Structure 1
Amino acid sequence: MSVDISRVSFDPLKHYSRIVHQQGRVTLDADANEQTAVLLHYLRTVVADVLGPAAAPLGAPGFTVTRIARDPDRDLAIGAGRLYVDGVLVENDAPTTYLTQPEGYVDPETAPVPEGPALAYLRAWERDITVIQDPAIREIALGGHGPDTAARAKVVWQVALHAFGEQEDPGGAEATVWFRSWLDGLYAPRGLLAARALHEPEAPADACVTAPRARFRGPENQLYRVQIHTSGVGAFPGDDGRRVVRPRRRGAGRDLRPEAPQATFVWSRENASVALPVASVAGPVVTLASWGRDHRLGVDVGDLVELVDDATAVHAADEVPGTPPQRVHRVVAVDVPGRTVTLDADPGAGPPGGRPPLGVGGDPELHPYLRRWDHRPQGGAGALPVVLDTWIALEDGVEVRFGVPQDCGPAREGSGERAPGRFRRGDHWLVPARTVPGDVVWPQDEEGPAAVAPHGVVYHYAPLAYLPGGAGDPVPLVARFAPLPPAAG
């Protein structure tokens, strides 16, 4: 989910300590959001500097992992309490289990408790919440279907398990070191993105034709969101799109990253904030709970949409995706009085011959919604392939280019090929486009638009316990700390 904002202006490298409002000046949403970001950056940096990358208080030692006596092979107990990961407060309000954790949506068939040695770890991140996910946010004094107000950001956590291979098991003493190394290499080299609108166009082939000046030509300011839809690698120009990149070996150990298909992406001119709540799903027919605020922020025949709910949204965080992403569908019919939208295919069917995605239905507990994307792929529907080192036109003069770090090594030792960038599902970049300069707001370097890492999602990790094979007791890996004693006097 995303929110309707003008832009994100916070930059930790500028080291601003606070926002200073001036009298008689316009106050923007970006100013208030930056003030919150400045304060959170300070608080979380202090906590991380004091406590380290992961620590829990002795009085409320959250996320202890233990075996369940009645069912030691099928589930694990997760204790209630608090944990600070990279300075972020992560809270588990009540004891739970691996299979029943509130925002894990774990399928025991596809993600069972491993029989052999494994590592239990915590994954935490911030998720945007609107009135679709939490209707209590809406102020009913403005009307039952009146305007919504501010959105929220929520810290979401999941306990995940990684089963060690036969030659991979580091043992309890080295599990934390192994875990950090695994995470560092999982998405290396990280895929980058550059964006532009105002630039010198290439000279036309016909000398008698005058090329129009390249610039942003949209009628209003926009916040474009470019988001990775399928995890994988970027393809260099000339690849046939079916290339599968095999992982490299790092040092003396094995590189355990799976083979990666070509990544795909989608984009939205409204920061993917056009979302319509769903009441029910029957095959390709989706019944909406309500329409958008106006026609511009709704859906129409020909639009591209994705059917999402809480379970599918949080599974985008999987380090090694166990299920494919939801398909991007084209709207083929709209019944306004009946509040129905007909898609080009059943969203629960999945690709022909492939593994179906997590089913999305009309369960109100999972807050399903239709999210609109604004790209227009060839062939009618689906996501766009990630092609490296090539300017890709979005619309109205806005262009983006995927790339990899300049110091990235070769894909294979002794070869002249550059290693392709690795992109994770949910990675996204925000591109503010402004009508006054006719350009996008984007950092520059000596060569023009800079290639930057994804603006989000930022994930935080903590190793929780090493699980020996069989029914052995888990070995805790989280540091515990006692509160500071009261000051003397």
Structure 2
Amino acid sequence: MKGDFTRFTFDPGKHYDSVLMQQGRVQTDADWNEQVMIAAHRNRIEILDIIGPSGAPQDLSAGGRGAFLVYYAPDAGNTNRLFINHGRYYVDGLVVEGEGPVRYDEQPGAVLPPAAGAGAYLLYLDIWKRHVTALEDPNIREVALAGADSGTRAQLVWQVRVERIGDLTIDLSSIQPSQYGPDWQPAGTASTGALDVQDGSTPLENQLYRVEVHRQGTASTASFKWSRDNGTVVAKVMTHSPPVLATVVREGVNVQVWQFSVTVDQKGRDSFSSFLPGHMVELGNEEFVLQRRPGVFGAITSVVGDTLNLEVPGASAPLSSAGPDVNPLAGASRTVRRWDNAWNPDLAATTLLDVGPDYTQGERLMLERDITVRFATTRDNQPCTYQTGDYWLIPARSVSGLEGWTVGQRQLPAGDEHFHAPLALVKFQANGTIANPVSDLRDMRDVFPTLRSLVGGTGSIVQGTGVQHRLPKWQSTGGSVLLNSNISDDGATVTVGGSGLTVTPATTLNSTLKVGTAPGAATIARFTSSAIKSMAAQELGETVPTSQAVKDFVNWAVPPGTVMAYASETEPEGWLECDGRSLDGSGASQYRNLFLSIGKNFGSGNGSANSFNLPDLRGRFVRGWSRGTSNDPDASSRFSLSGSNVGNRVGSYQNDQYASHGHAFGMSGTANWISQSHTHWMGAPFNMWHSRQIVQPTGVDFIKYAEGKNIFDTFYLWFDRISHTDIIPTSHSHTVTATNQATNLAGGNESRPKNANLMYIIKY
């Protein structure tokens, strides 16, 4: 990062969590930048732990294509082209985004080199961080500051590049994804070199020195440049004169140089940060940065106002007519940057030739003020390699000397680090086309589902997007494999190999399926269980018979003793109905693993040491083991089928039972019948006997039977259906007697909820 920084202090090995500011203290750029880097590092390792080395979310938008899928399709002119789909892709904890499907040869940024002739190629994603200033993005600058700049930006750049892996005879399906794992690097991109720095007795200024590789190569072929200000003396090229090829005399030798002038937006703030005659400069543009090309070195011959007169070696670049990928005066974001290398007649960056035969010997190269550097030449008995853009930062302080460097210490480059992930394998014909988009183009991405699309719980299954890149080449022997087409994947070619392995296509396979003799190939997306089990065994690095691979994988995935409901009346392979039968669990028995899992929990079989019973779940509901809790209040009544009381243990049974309960009934009326008045209704015919004495009234002849005597008479009165009310004024009581009565019977033979019949089976 070529910015005006004091130093960079972030060190992941110190495990700092945050930067804390104190009141009344000076705030430095190093503190702020360390906090930013702490947060970025934490975010990166979290993503890396969750997603892994690389991958794309399972996004099937844009016509069913996933993120960064490489595909072959017609362009707007109906010509078949190689496209890169849009979306997000994660590599080593970093995420990049593609805004829309783009042709390979029209990627954002630099024009990348095409495939070099007919052959098989790997298309891979290259991700790196680019430092962006207001020169590259004017919107960063606050115009109200009258030209002064403020912060800069770090930008994630992605590019899809190609690397040749062989000729057209290569079978793409035979290439394993593990060949391009997290440690893979494209050929010629590894940096193995190192640098050590030493200062002398000369007092230093407060500077941030930058040493950067210019031309890549080994210690004997590479060159470097350095700056006491981290390469921050840079200006934007506004205009330039046409380059003229001239001949000049250098140390008595005629040499050709390009002579021209450039007008810059500013030549510097002061004499220490400006362009002066004799300074070495580098010309570059946007294309050079994105292609990681070294800029064109030259020298300033004179300065007139904001115009720099330059000389550039005649053989360095075709400055008169070439495009922006080779001509720094063409294209966007043209810049001229000052370096502090000493002027030399070759007008070139300093070579590394003086470093000696190995790392511990040879002359040191002087920068200034007794600061010397030395580049390593060998590492692990191999020549060290240096890549364009590798750099080291050397903070120097007037009070303490060099910061972060000790005598004899060698350090690897601080950047620029690149991260890679495979995207696809492709076969290009001589004219750049693809003969068969199905067999000559293979997806190599890692794809993962989003959290919301995952099925919850044990046994969740997530459908993948392909087969072959998940499937190592089989080395199993014996057995057979059924190729099933329940899920079609018309673009996949699957290679199945192995000694004695029989490949059998299902009768319902799609007509596009191609099956050959083992090892064969097929366009399918799903194997039967036995095939998957064999595959899993091979992933563990084992070479085992198919039958044993089946057992090993299934016993790992579904342990013996697992019980589940099964919607069939026929036991599947490897399972038994839970019918209470007696089995032999001796060492030679196929039921040995089941016996080791459940033992004699459900019975002792025939009584021998290795005999046992299966659970008998025919017509029974399963109850979870309460493990001593009160959830099973009658646990003490649990029993085994042999009749012994086994209590609250796995394998015990319990009979049906009603919970204790009663039925209540009542009579309507007032609360206190004895003390309350009430009415009686009499509505039926009845006889009443009345006896009365008739006395002759005084002075009245009434009925005279004998003069002067009382007459007693008797009457019989008949009342028919006379309703009347008798009020009983005094308290009294009634006695009501209820006899035991039986209610009418209802229901059936048992109490049960609504249910459906399934067969319980147990894994053995």
Shorter chain as denominator, the TM-score bin is: 0.7 to 0.9
- 1:230–1:177 CA distance, 2 compared to 1 (3 A): farther
In structure 1, how many angstroms separate the alpha carbons of the residues matched to 2:150 and 2:227? 21
Equivalent position of 1:131 in the other structure: 134
Equivalent position of 2:743 in the other structure: none
Structure 1 segments, 4+ long, off by >6 Å, are 71-74
One-letter identity of the residue aligned with 2:297: V
Tell me if structure 1 keeps the 8 A contact 2:118–2:168: no
Tell me if structure 2 keeps the 8 A contact 1:191–1:404: yes
In structure 2, how many angstroms separate the alpha carbons of the residues matched to 1:154 and 1:117? 32
Give deviations 1:424-470, integer Å, cap 9, x for gaps. Answer: 01000001111102x211344xxx33111100001111111011344
Give deviations 1:408-428, integer Å, cap 9, x for gaps. Answer: 12xxxxxxxxx2210001000
- 1:292–1:87 CA distance, 2 compared to 1 (3 A): same
Equivalent position of 2:341 in the other structure: 375
Tell me if structure 2 keeps the 8 A contact 1:175–1:466: no
- 1:393–1:450 CA distance, 2 compared to 1 (3 A): same
Give deviations 1:74-132, integer Å, cap 9, x for gaps. Answer: 842111111011010111112211111112323xxx53475321111111111111010
Tell me if structure 2 keeps the 8 A contact 1:119–1:175: no
Equivalent position of 2:163 in the other structure: 162
Equivalent position of 2:282 in the other structure: 306
Equivalent position of 1:96 in the other structure: 102
In structure 2, how many angstroms separate the alpha carbons of the residues matched to 1:96 and 1:454? 33
One-letter identity of the residue aligned with 1:156: V
Equivalent position of 1:67 in the other structure: 72
Equivalent position of 1:252 in the other structure: none
Q: Does 1:329 align with 2:292?
A: no
Find the residue that maps to 2:48 and give its secondary structure.
helix
Find the residue that maps to 2:374 and give its secondary structure.
strand
Equivalent position of 2:452 in the other structure: 485
Candidates 311, 316, 320, aligned match of 1:344: 311
Equivalent position of 1:85 in the other structure: 91
In structure 2, how many angstroms separate the alpha carbons of the residues matched to 1:224 and 1:166? 46
- 1:48–1:129 CA distance, 2 compared to 1 (3 A): same
Equivalent position of 2:119 in the other structure: 116
Deviation at 1:280, TM superposition (A): 2.2
Candidates 372, 382, 398, aligned match of 2:371: 398
Give deviations 1:156-187, integer Å, cap 9, x for gaps. Answer: 11111112234995734535433457627745
Give deviations 1:192-246, integer Å, cap 9, x for gaps. Answer: 011121xxxxxxxxxxxxxxxx23533x3111110000110013xxxxxxxxxxx
One-letter identity of the residue aligned with 2:421: A
Q: Does 1:472 align with 2:478?
A: no
Give deviations 1:51-95, integer Å, cap 9, x for gaps. Answer: 111111123743211113358998421111110110101111122
Tell me if structure 1 keeps the 8 A contact 2:193–2:375: yes
- 1:325–1:141 CA distance, 2 compared to 1 (3 A): closer
One-letter identity of the residue aligned with 1:65: V
- 1:222–1:77 CA distance, 2 compared to 1 (3 A): same
Deviation at 1:360, TM superposition (A): 1.9
In structure 1, how many angstroms separate the alpha carbons of the residues matched to 2:159 and 2:50? 24
One-letter identity of the residue aligned with 1:192: A
Equivalent position of 2:329 in the other structure: 361
In structure 2, how many angstroms separate the alpha carbons of the residues matched to 1:424 and 1:382? 17
Normalised by the length of structure 1, the TM-score is: 0.78
Deviation at 1:350, TM superposition (A): 2.0
The gaps in structure 1 that reach 5 residues or longer are 198-213, 236-261, 317-323, 410-418
Q: Which moved more, 1:302-311 or 1:342-351?
A: 342-351
- 1:175–1:311 CA distance, 2 compared to 1 (3 A): farther
Aligned-residue identity in percent: 31
Q: Which structure has the larger Rg?
A: 2
Find the residue that maps to 2:131 and give its secondary structure.
strand
Normalised by the length of structure 2, the TM-score is: 0.51
The 5-angstrom pairing of residues 176-187 of structure 1 reads 176-180=177-181, 183=185, 186=188
In structure 2, how many angstroms separate the alpha carbons of the residues matched to 1:332 and 1:377? 11
Equivalent position of 2:3 in the other structure: 3
Candidates 142, 145, 149, aligned match of 1:142: 145
In structure 2, how many angstroms separate the alpha carbons of the residues matched to 1:54 and 1:485? 20
Equivalent position of 2:552 in the other structure: none
Q: Does 1:293 align with 2:269?
A: yes
Candidates 194, 201, 226, aligned match of 1:215: 201
- 1:95–1:189 CA distance, 2 compared to 1 (3 A): closer
Equivalent position of 1:15 in the other structure: 15
In structure 1, how many angstroms separate the alpha carbons of the residues matched to 2:144 and 2:38? 32
Q: Which moved more, 1:279-288 or 1:161-170?
A: 161-170
In structure 2, how many angstroms separate the alpha carbons of the residues matched to 1:280 and 1:433? 36
The gaps in structure 2 that reach 5 residues or longer are 244-259, 429-433, 457-764
In structure 2, how many angstroms separate the alpha carbons of the residues matched to 1:178 and 1:169? 15
Deviation at 1:367, TM superposition (A): 0.9
Q: Does 1:436 align with 2:399?
A: yes
Deviation at 1:485, TM superposition (A): 2.6
In structure 1, how many angstroms separate the alpha carbons of the residues matched to 2:97 and 2:210? 30
Aligned residue-pair number: 413
Tell me if structure 2 keeps the 8 A contact 1:85–1:461: yes
Q: Which moved more, 1:150-159 or 1:292-301?
A: 292-301
Q: Does 1:422 align with 2:385?
A: yes
Find the residue that maps to 2:16 and give its secondary structure.
coil
Give deviations 1:298-320, integer Å, cap 9, x for gaps. Answer: 2111111111111011111xxxx
